Amino acid sequence: METKKRKKSEIEKPVYNKRLAYAVVAVVIMFVLAFSYFFLFRPSQPSEPKAAIIDQLSSSQLSEVSRWINETFVENAKALLYQRFSKVDYYSDNATVDNIANSPL
């Protein structure tokens, strides 16, 4: 009986080693994929934060009656935004929904 038990344990050992080897290989492959995703495919330089003022009330596409140009608003808004952002863009003429949706912000 002891010979049967020894043979059984000897037979099970290589199967356990194969499973361990497969698990180690799978973990290494996952680590390599994660490393390549996080470190190789990220942008080389972080983008600067920027802000935009979209002023539809002063658009030249509006009629003179409905157009309202407020320079105080623009100056105050830019002053506040420059405290936080390095770049502030001002849009008034093409301030449509389509142009806002396609803007590079």
**DSSP-assigned letters across all residues of the chain:** -HHHHHHHHHHHHHHHHHHHHHHHHHHHHHHHHHHIIIIISS-SSPPPPEEEEE-GGG-TTS-TTT----HHHHHHHHHHHHTT-SEEEEE-TT--HHHHHTS--
Residues 97 and 60 in one domain: yes
Residue 25 clears pLDDT 80, i.e. is over it: yes
Model confidence at 5: pLDDT above 60: no
Whether residue 59 sits in one domain with residue 96: yes
Statement to judge: residues 14 and 30 lie in one domain: yes
Residue 62's domain comprises 50-101
The pLDDT assigned to 11 comes to 54
Looking at the structure, do residues 31 and 57 belong to the same domain, yes or no? no
Report for 19-23, 70-74, 76-80, 97-101: range of highest mean pLDDT: 76-80
- What is the total count of domains within the chain? 2
Q: Between 7 and 17, where is the model more confident?
A: 17
Q: Write the pLDDT tens digit of every residue in 35-62.
A: 887 777 766 666 778 888 888 777 777 7
Q: Looking at residue 4, what is its pLDDT?
A: 54
Q: Does the pLDDT of residue 31 top 60, yes or no?
A: yes
pTM equals 0.47
Q: Which two tokens stand for residue 41?
A: 């495919």
Is the model's pLDDT at 90 over the cut of 80?
A: yes
